[in-house]
Structure 1
């Protein structure tokens, strides 16, 4: 049964301020243990790509099939596939990866509604804290591929872009799949953010928008090879 009030909610609660001093120091130990579990379970993963998208994507829909093709193509290219572990687009990517013989990972989150880990996961973990889970998505991925989704998907997308923009992480490709779905957002970024100098052309270049799974995976491979060459000192100057 899902709790009506999640662990995150208790941590961020502003109503019971009088409890902060007594409880938050102990909560820090639970947070630490969750980081340790994540590091311990994921540190031996092969190179992986995080795939995000809506939990509400319907099985059999064009978006679901796109997720399956993406998961399959990433697995065949030698990448593990990490998702939020839920239904919809996440299930589609996990399913595609597993059926292609790849490693399928699901990082779930405690919520007061939805959702259990889907049935196509080889390695699954449930997290209490969103910020711990987000760290795992970024730390153990070489790229983000983003299918059509809602607030949670947008959260992960813009967090990744911010981390690259501020150079907290480098050479981290972000691919949006679904031209029709994402074009309005890209237009707004260009016409509003770029036009008013809130971002630069370089910032927009961080995003690849495509409907082509092969193009998306080729972009991820290219960036991964660049990172390998850079790490080994082979990168051309």
Structure 2
């Protein structure tokens, strides 16, 4: 459309903070689209709607954990078998953390996570499970007394870090390694206030530590003092003492 003065008159639409003109103008109003039950449903799969879901997950997670108190996140394999030596270590670890004054946070699943939650629950402590929507894993284990289920890994991992004063890492697989290296990176880059990270099980973790020392550091991809970002231990009481000392609890 051209005005009498020869200037083009733009069709303009304002939807909250969004300005739309010409071909970007949408029919109807925001309220009309909200209240119209006959309208299209594709919007539930759009990125703006995903942002709202993400925001909702942060709100729910932060709200559930805001008054948790001192806590330690325990990571480990979902495949650790009940009754195995590793499982029993997880149970003792969860129990001893509660006795030291900590709540216990895990991923809420089976295996090592269940073991730590079991120990915490049986000791009368707060046993937290931060679950994740996965196609091949069961839900939150029976020993969790405060649980939150997440759709998004990054929201869940934020809660692992935000509400923990330290990490204890039991033998685990790819998910455990992901959580471990994210924690190490956050501490190394000073994105978080330093907190203790204990790798439990010297024989399990020694190969990784050797690789860090003889490959990663030897080739200049990391500094020698980065090895000081974590501790190795085979003793539950020592692991708890390391966490307690660095957190000041």
TM, length-normalised to structure 1: 0.85
Say whether 1:55 aligns with 2:78.
yes
Matches within 5 A, 1:163-202: 163-202=186-225
The count of aligned residue pairs is 207
- The alpha carbon displacement at 1:201 in A equals 2.0
Question: For the residues of structure 2 that align with 1:196 and 1:207, how far apart are their CA atoms?
Answer: 20
- The alpha carbon displacement at 1:113 in A equals 1.1
Say whether 1:144 aligns with 2:167.
yes
Say whether 1:210 aligns with 2:209.
no
Q: Which residue of 2 aligns with 1:104?
A: 127
Give the SS at the match of 2:246.
helix
Say whether 1:46 aligns with 2:78.
no
Say whether 1:95 aligns with 2:118.
yes
Which structure has greater helix proportion?
A: 1
Question: For the residues of structure 1 that align with 2:239 and 2:225, how far apart are their CA atoms?
Answer: 19
Q: Which runs of 5+ in 1 are unaligned?
A: 1-18, 229-237
- The alpha carbon displacement at 1:197 in A equals 1.7
Matches within 5 A, 1:216-231: 216-225=239-248
Higher RCO structure (Cα 8 Å, ≥6 apart): 1
Q: Which residue of 2 aligns with 1:16?
A: none
Question: For the residues of structure 1 that align with 2:233 and 2:223, how far apart are their CA atoms?
Answer: 21
TM, length-normalised to structure 2: 0.81
Question: For the residues of structure 2 that align with 1:87 and 1:54, how far apart are their CA atoms?
Answer: 8
Q: Which residue of 2 aligns with 1:162?
A: 185
Q: Which residue of 2 aligns with 1:68?
A: 91
Question: For the residues of structure 2 that align with 1:206 and 1:61, how far apart are their CA atoms?
Answer: 29
Q: Give the root-mean-square deviation of aligned CA atoms.
A: 1.3
Say whether 1:83 aligns with 2:106.
yes
Question: For the residues of structure 2 that align with 1:70 and 1:160, how far apart are their CA atoms?
Answer: 20
Give the SS at the match of 2:46.
helix
- The alpha carbon displacement at 1:102 in A equals 1.2
| Deviation readout 1:121-175 (Å, 9 max, x if unpaired) | 1101100010000000000000010000000000000000000000001221110
- Higher Cα Rg, which structure: 2
Moved over 4 A (4+): none
